[in-house]
A and B are shown apart, each in its own frame.
Chain A
Amino acid sequence: MNLVSVPRRLAARITGQAIVLFARAITAVNAEWRGVGPSSRQRVYFANHVSNADMPMIWSVLPHHLRQRTRPVAAADYWLTNGVRAFAGRDVFKAVLIDRRPDARNDDPMAAIIDALDTGASLIIFPEGLRNQGPEPLKPFKSGLYNIAKARPDVELVPTWVANLNSVMPKGEVIPLPLMVRVIFGAPVALHDGEDRHGFLNRSAAALLALKPEERT
């Protein structure tokens, strides 16, 4: 073991706990295991993406032993822009970093994801790609989820809806509101025999959207 990395790993653990405590203190974030229970089975949690806080919320509600083995798939062009973000991305969340700019990358993003799965880690992914800042609840999915389902059919694909985070910090606001956030885990979706990419992605998106709580205003 590299001696230099020991304080760094300790700092990462403490920061991770602080993030969990902070998320709970401000948003009382609460997991609702609706379609599956927490389990040590290898999973890909695929979630809606409205804010940069989505991933820390999902990460925070996972039980500690599952959180240790769950890695978010995140954008390298966001997480490597400065030292603090790089520390958070690499050391705290242990993110699988993918470059979203095709011209800037020299490795295949899908290969990095499959490599991470083959080490036994569970993943958190946002199949919409970029953050959804439009009026529609969910943008069309990119192909990554289908590729994962095809390449590693044994991994459970769990739809994960992060509810109410958009009200906590709408786009353009600086101060987060302490409103309650819920993370709802639905029943896993699996690729059917002979199902095409388009059909599968639509079905997964529908399964995710079905978890969205009804809004009463």
Chain B
Amino acid sequence: MSPMLRDIGLLALGVTLLLLALTIFGERLRNRSDQPEPAVEVFMTRVDSWWAMVVLFTLALLVGPKAVVLLFAIASFAALREFYTYSARARADHLSLALAFYIILPAQFLFIAFDAPRLFGVFIPVFVFLLLPFVSVLRGSADRFLSRVSEMQWGLMICVFCLSHIPALMWLELPGESGRGMLLIAFLVLVVQAGDLVDFYIGRRLGRKRIVEGLSSKTWEGAAWGIAAAALLGLILGWITPFGPFAAAGMAALASACGQAGNLILRAIKRDRGLRDWSHLIPGQGGFLDQLDSVIFAAPAFFYLTRLWWLA
């Protein structure tokens, strides 16, 4: 067995055991009372969604890089759909939005699939940023033009550009260690999620000082607990990364910090649009953007820092 397959197997085993423990824990909570408790039911639907995600992701890892890219391209499509459903737009933007969904998004993920870093790094932030407003302006409406094109570009940056840096991680590998980049994806997703969960379930009970009063119940203490938990998990999972244990802990802490900041930013956007969740597509979690917000914001920072690491 190759070391790569062994590591995927070990990781999948570890995560499966963890989810099994959570499922048993939830079922015991369920059996404790005769009537279904809403909090327990929400927890259980979340655990079910995690099962589905872990199974899908593991299957994609086993099939290979193209399957991983496809999985994230689908998530990106769903996220962009959630974002644009509530963004400012006019009739004149119809073609630009269609291009975003049907041309720009697939192109970005094709650049990822065929590992063209010079293209995927600049395509959306530079070329699309300059050219897409031109498509909107050709249709002749200048009403709220800046808001419309800005929101269009924000949607592409968050839901396509940033999100596409998650699968892009798989191309970051040392010479002679083919395929190990895919494990970096699992590393990033696991540490960021762990940070969020610790922040949510533990930090908010101990936390005192709100980060943004009136917007989110996130507290400085909770955020610190989340970052610490991510660092600890990073230390434990250091063996699947090329960083070494302590650098892995540092990268995990950084990813969790970026992720929590992203969570607050998207919270502000949702508040502005009067939304609680982006959609109902993932049972117990809300929409794709609700589920992925922190990983989306952590991915570019994680990607470029990791690349610098090797270039240095």
Contact = CB atoms under 8 A, between A and B. Distances in A.
A131 to B, nearest CB: 16
Interface in A161-217: 164, 167, 170, 173, 175, 177-180, 214, 216-217
B274 A28 contact: no
Given A170-B91, A216-B273, A179 B144 contact: no
B97 interface: yes
Given A167-B89, A170-B91, A178 B279 contact: no
A177 B101 contact: yes
Contacts of A28: 78, 81, 279, 281
Contact of B279 (A175, A177, A180, A216): A180
Given A30-B279, A164-B85, A170-B91, A177 B78 contact: no
B88 interface: yes
Contact of A178 (B77, B88, B91, B272): B77
Contacts, number: 38
B101 A178 contact: yes
A173 B92 CA distance: 10
A180 B91 contact: no
Interface in B84-117: 84-86, 88-89, 91, 94-95, 97-98, 101-102
B85 A180 contact: yes
A173 B90 CA distance: 13
Give chain A's interface residue range (CB within 8 Å of chain B).
10 to 19
Nearest to A173: B94
Chain B CB within 10 A, most for which of A167, A177, A214: A177
A199 B292 CA distance: 49
Nearest to A175: B98
Contacts of A217: 88, 144
A180 B81 contact: yes
Interface string B60-79: 00000000000000000110
B28 interface: no
A30 B280 contact: yes
Contacts of B85: 164, 167, 179-180
B196 interface: no
Interface string B22-45: 000000000000000000000000
A106 to B, nearest CB: 41
Given A28-B81, A167-B85, A177-B94, 12 more contacts: A28-B279, A167-B89, A175-B95, A175-B98, A175-B102, A177-B97, A178-B77, A179-B81, A179-B84, A180-B85, A216-B86, A217-B88
7 contacts: A164-B85, A167-B85, A177-B94, A178-B81, A178-B101, A180-B82, A216-B86
The 4 closest A-B pairs by CB, nearest first: A180-B85, A175-B98, A179-B85, A178-B81
